Amino acid sequence: MVEICRPGVSSCRRRPPTSRAESAEMLSLSRSIGRRCLSRFRQSAHHRSCSSTAVVDQEPPKILITGGLGQLGRGLAPPTTGEIRPLQRHPHRHSQADCRRGKGRPYRFADILDFKLLQEMIVNERITWMFHFSALLSAVGEQNTALALRVNIEGLHNVMELAKQYDLRLFVPSTIGAFGPTSPRNPTPDLTVQKPSTIYGVSKVHAELMGEYYHRKFGLDFRCLRLPGVISADTAPGGGTTDYAVHIFHEAIRNRAYKCYLREDTRLPMIYIDDCLRAMVEVMECDPRLLKQRVYNLQAISFTPAELAKEIRRHMSNFQITYEPDFRQQIADTWPQVLDDSRARADWGWKHLVDTPDLVELMLQYLSHHYEFNAGRVAN
């Protein structure tokens, strides 16, 4: 396997691909690292944070992932145990090649609003866990509020009701966008005022409250993490306000320049995809008796566009960045700068592994090889 390891974890470095098979391995970088994260977690962190009572499920769970071809869904499928049943609302946006990436795990094109079809899949496949990722993100949601309401809220209601009916363990990600201009920004605690300014944020507060209600009322095993901006290299950004932190690496490699839609001093919390995937697996596998709440903040790193650009220049001295803030700046100005995740660290042993220098090195090396290989294919 051709891969890159984190600085501080191993000294190995990835070499340029020499075959199409090796390039395919590179295109699965986040997933291979995710598997290593999960392996390390099971050997150490799992026992540290959840002690001898942590492993509640004796049989591997059968897992349904909604939004399975998105950033989180694609990354999560290999690290999780059990069988994967990804679900996507917009089949026309994905090719047959996308489906083949499942490597034997069945993909189903379906509408998250189709309750009956979801029900049939859960029953027929004997699903026991669900990761509900289907959603319109912040920037996209503001441009199509009606669709965001349907997907983010009606779709959630379908998932909640089915999880209740069939006694599923349910994970729904929340977001820094669940906070608003009246929330403390640095740090932002788990419990504080939440009055978000976007339909995406409103829908996520709704999801948090519904999950907690279903847990109290019906005993639903609901688990939720408020995620920072998630940075990964092997999927395209999905329309979020934090997406600049992905775009900047592509533009750095292709053009040595980037025009940022946020101000240079806009500080936001971020997380590398491997840490994010590991956190979701950890909280889902943890003994429910150790979870003192159902919704947790998740913090890893925090930086501004200017700080990220400075770190990129350590590898590319001629990289240039300019700033032209647009409507996304108003959204970012209402979001946390740093999340207080002390409860996650205390209750189930959360600890991030990838800091900003590590993230920059990983992203630049991965994408450099990716573009080199694609350029070679065009030349040939």
Q: Where are the alpha helices (DSSP H) in 101-243?
A: 115-124, 138-143, 145-149, 155-165, 199-218
* Residue 272 a catalytic site member: no
Nearest Cα to Cα of residue 79 among 42, 27, 123: 42
Q: Which of 200, 214, 272, 296 is catalytic?
A: 200
Which residues lie closer than 8 Å to 183 by C-beta, 6 or more apart? 192, 193, 194, 195, 336
- 86 vs 130: CA distance, rounded Å: 10
Are 68 and 133 in contact, with CB atoms under 8 Å apart? yes
Which amino acid is residue 173, in one-letter code? P
SS3 of the chain: helix, strand, coil, percent, to 5: 50, 15, 40
Q: Provide the 8-state DSSP code for 341.
A: -
- 346 vs 195: CA distance, rounded Å: 27
Which amino acid is residue 313, in one-letter code? R
Cα 194–Cα 197–Cα 203 angle in degrees, nearest 5: 70
Cα–chain-centroid distance for residue 371? 23
Are 97 and 70 in contact, with CB atoms under 8 Å apart? no
Positions marked catalytic: 200
